[in-house]
Amino acid sequence: MKNYKIAVLAGDGIGPEITAEAIKVLKVIEERNDVKFELMPALFGACAYFETGDAFPQATIDICDQADAILKGTIGLSHEESKKIPVDKQPERGALLPLRRRYNTYANFRPVFLPKSLAHFSPLKPEVIGDGIDLIMVRELVGGLYFGEKEMGVNDKGLRYVRETLEYDEEQIRRIMHEAFKLAQKRRKLLHNIHKSNVLKSSVLWNEVMEEVAKEYPDVQVVNYLVDSAATALCLKPTQFDVMVMENMFGDILSDQGGGILGSLGLMPSACIGPEKAYYEPSHGSAPDIAGKNIANPYSMIGSVAMMLENSFDMAAEAKNVWAAMQGVFADGYSTADLSKPGSGVKMINTQEFGDKVVEKLRAMPK
Task: Kindly state whether residue 252 participates in binding Mn ion, applying the rule CB under 5 A.
Answer: yes
Distance CA(87)–CA(105), nearest Å, equals 23
Q: How far is the CB of 39 from ligand NAD (least distance, A)?
A: 19
Q: How far is the CB of 146 from ligand IPM (least distance, A)?
A: 7
Strand partners, 37: 4
Task: Kindly state whether residue 92 participates in binding ligand IPM, applying the rule CB under 6 A.
Answer: yes
Name the residue nearer to Mn ion (CB basis): 59 or 253.
253
Instruction: Give the residues lining the site for ligand NAD (CB under 6 A).
Output: 14, 18, 74-77, 82, 92, 96, 264-266, 281, 284-290, 296-297, 300, 338
Task: Kindly state whether residue 96 participates in binding ligand IPM, applying the rule CB under 6 A.
Answer: yes
**Catalytic entry in 24, 72, 196, 357:** 196
Task: Kindly state whether residue 247 participates in binding Mn ion, applying the rule CB under 5 A.
Answer: no
Write the DSSP symbol of residue 93. I
Name the residue nearer to ligand NAD (CB basis): 57 or 76.
76
Name the residue nearer to Mn ion (CB basis): 252 or 338.
252
Distance CA(279)–CA(11), nearest Å, equals 14
Name the residue nearer to ligand NAD (CB basis): 285 or 355.
285
Strands 69-74, 278-280: pairing kind: parallel
Is 252 an annotated catalytic residue? yes
Task: Kindly state whether residue 252 participates in binding ligand IPM, applying the rule CB under 6 A.
Answer: yes
Is 256 an annotated catalytic residue? yes
- DSSP symbols for 97-154: HHHHHHTT--EEEEEEEEEGGGGGGSSS-HHHHTTEEEEEEEEE-SSGGGTS-EEEEE
Residue burial 321-353, b: 16+ Cβ < 10 Å; e: rest: bbbebbbbbbeeebbbbbbbeeeeebebbbbee
Q: Considering only residues 277-336, where is the footprint of ligand IPM by CB under 6 A?
A: 283
**Catalytic entry in 62, 169, 228, 314:** 228
Task: Kindly state whether residue 281 participates in binding Mn ion, applying the rule CB under 5 A.
Answer: no
Name the residue nearer to ligand IPM (CB basis): 61 or 145.
145
- Measured CA to CA in angstroms, residue 272 lies from 84, 103, 276 at distances of 29, 9, 11
The 3-state DSSP class for residue 190 equals: strand
Q: Catalytic positions, please?
A: 146, 196, 228, 252, 256
